[in-house]
Amino acid sequence: MTPEADGANVLSVRGLSVRFRMRDRAYVRAVTDVSFDLAAGECLALVGESGCGKSVLASALLGLLPGNASVAGSALLGGEGLDLLAADERVLAREVRGRRVGLVPQSPAAHLTPVRTVRSQLAEVVRELTEAPGEGAVAAAAERAAFPLDHLDRYPHELSGGLAQRAATALALVGDAPLLLADEPTTGLDRDLVERTVDELRRHTGDHRALLLITHDLAAAERIADRVAVMYAGRVVEIADASAFFGAPGPRHPYARGLLDALPEREFTPIPGMPPELGALPDGCAFAARCGRVSEACRVLPEFVAGVACHHVGHMDEAEVARA
Ligand SMILES: Nc1ncnc2c1ncn2[C@@H]1O[C@H](COP(=O)(O)OP(=O)(O)OP(=O)(O)O)[C@@H](O)[C@H]1O
Ligand code: SF4
Ligand SMILES: [Mg+2]
């Protein structure tokens, strides 16, 4: 699928699948056979409609899945190092979370400790994760995420959604972890703060660190990502360089093209229909019921080849030709 893992990769994911056991022997296939690499210094944006498996993928990498989940595949940290999917909980808790893999969680309010102020939570993480922190270390950590210093003594319930988001981002940045997973880090922020926040996340990558930016905000992805991975119904259906994806020649997978065409600043044409239930996925291509290019061939699951999983890559219908 993606290039072979090598020493320059911060993360190499191969064949990652997650399914949730439900009642009556049913399963929800939340993530299926996902493979990608993240190189040192790289930002990969992971995009796709709600419920397609983005957060489950991030939770799998951090060993934070609930008890009804089963996981397959591998996720090697440092390219050939620790397999995050096989690591035991003690190793993940002591050595990985916060230190080697940082997380900006999708629900920051749920991750902040309700009975302690932001200052006290930041101070603790600064003490734990930085060597000899100086006097202004807490303020510096807050400022990295544009968290206002005069709100540091507030409790989480006294914060707006946007402020809780910035507090969670500040906490995640403290450890300068080699791999940062940012799951919708700009929810509740106005456009200026969105740009400031994603620019700070991008700065974090430096020479040896990498960022997986999970986002609905395609403008934010375009601003900072080197590559884009598009997920649909639990699978990655396209991985492309961001400049080719957002510029010319554009996305190659019909779903990815639909995502861009739905943007108000582009065609403003929504993708028809809804994604399939992950507990009842169809055989063949999961996008078939919504796809303008569907054919008999699509009854068979398309393989992921040269960055895309589609039987009809490159084919353009009349409307597409007219637009091109
Ligand atoms: N504990 C669970 N048990 C069963 N199904 C689950 C569980 N957790 C998540 N799921 C299902 O897994 C699928 C993927 O969810 P996920 O939260 O990863 O979506 P997402 O792409 O992050 O969506 P959003 O963009 O809304 O955040 C959903 O269908 C969800 O209902
Ligand atoms: S495989 Fe077929 S149904 Fe699926 S995206 Fe490609 S053309 Fe559409
Ligand atoms: Mg999510």
Q: Which residues pair with 213 in a beta bridge?
A: 45, 182
DSSP letter for each residue of 46-85: EE-STTSSHHHHHHHHTT---TTEEEEEEEEETTTS-BTT
- Ligand 2 pocket, residues with Cβ under 6 angstroms: 254, 285, 287-288, 291, 293-294, 298, 302, 310-312
Q: Which residues pair with 38 in a beta bridge?
A: 11
**Chain center to CA of 151:** 29
Q: Which residues contact 97 (CB under 8 A, 6 or more apart)?
A: 62, 63, 103
Q: In CATH, which of 3.50.50.60, 3.40.50.300, 3.30.830.10, 3.30.2350.10 is domain 9-99+179-193+205-323?
A: 3.40.50.300
Whose CA is closest to atom 1 on ligand 2?
Answer: 310
Among residues 129, 189, 126, which one has the least CA distance to residue 159? Answer: 189
Pocket-testing residue among 17, 18, 19, 20, ligand 1, by greatest number of atoms within 8 A of Cβ: 20
Q: Which two tokens stand for residue 175?
A: 């450890």
Task: Output the pLDDT for position 110.
Answer: 84
Task: Output the pLDDT for position 4.
Answer: 40
Burial of 94 (0-12, 13-18, 19+ CB in 10 A): exposed
Preceding omega of 185 cis (within 30 degrees of 0): no
d(CA 270, CA 223): 23
Pocket-testing residue among 293, 301, 303, ligand 2, by greatest number of atoms within 8 A of Cβ: 293
Pocket-testing residue among 21, 24, 28, 278, ligand 1, by greatest number of atoms within 8 A of Cβ: 28
Question: Domains of the chain: which residue ranges?
Answer: 9-99+179-193+205-323, 101-176
Beta-strand pair 43-47/27-39: unpaired
d(CA 103, CA 207): 19
Whose CA is closest to atom 3 on ligand 2?
Answer: 288
Give yes or no for residue 256 having a pLDDT over 70: yes
Q: Mind listing the pLDDT tens digit for each residue in 18-36?
A: 999 998 889 999 999 999 9
Mean pLDDT value of segment 291-309: 97
Q: How many other CB atoms are there within 10 angstroms of residue 319's CB atom?
A: 12
Task: Output the pLDDT for position 223.
Answer: 98
Burial of 268 (0-12, 13-18, 19+ CB in 10 A): exposed
Mean pLDDT value of segment 179-193: 94
Counting residues of the chain whose pLDDT is more than 90, the rounded percentage is 86
Among residues 107, 126, 218, which one has the least CA distance to residue 165? Answer: 107
Counting residues of the chain whose pLDDT is more than 70, the rounded percentage is 94
Q: Mind listing the pLDDT tens digit for each residue in 50-62?
A: 999 999 999 999 9
